[in-house]
């Protein structure tokens, strides 16, 4: 009997990311949010310090998804 293989959505339908966020102590009572991101299908990963960098990393996969999608152009 073959092991059950879960259904996988195509890259056009979804993306799976691992996101780990934490507060980094900068001293003198200051702290800053940090995050580690991994795009699971490709294994590409990145550490970021801003929401803009987080959105940029995730957004690059959305931009690749459907070359015929005119909604963001």
Quote the pTM value.
Answer: 0.64
Give the lowest-confidence range in 1-5, 7-11, 32-36, 61-65. 7-11
Domain layout of the chain by residue ranges: 17-64
Give 63 or 70, the one with higher predicted confidence.
63
**Which long-range CB contacts under 8 A does 52-58 form with residues at least 24 apart?**
54/19, 58/15, 58/17
């Amino acid at each position: 009997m073959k092991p059950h293989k879960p259904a996988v959505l195509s890259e056009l339908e979804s993306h799976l990311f691992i996101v780990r966020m934490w507060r980094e102590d900068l001293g003198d009572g200051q702290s800053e949010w940090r995050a580690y991101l991994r795009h699971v299908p490709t294994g590409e990963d990145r550490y970021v310090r801003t929401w803009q960098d987080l959105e940029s990393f995730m957004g690059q996969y959305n931009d690749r998804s459907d070359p015929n999608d005119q909604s963001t152009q």
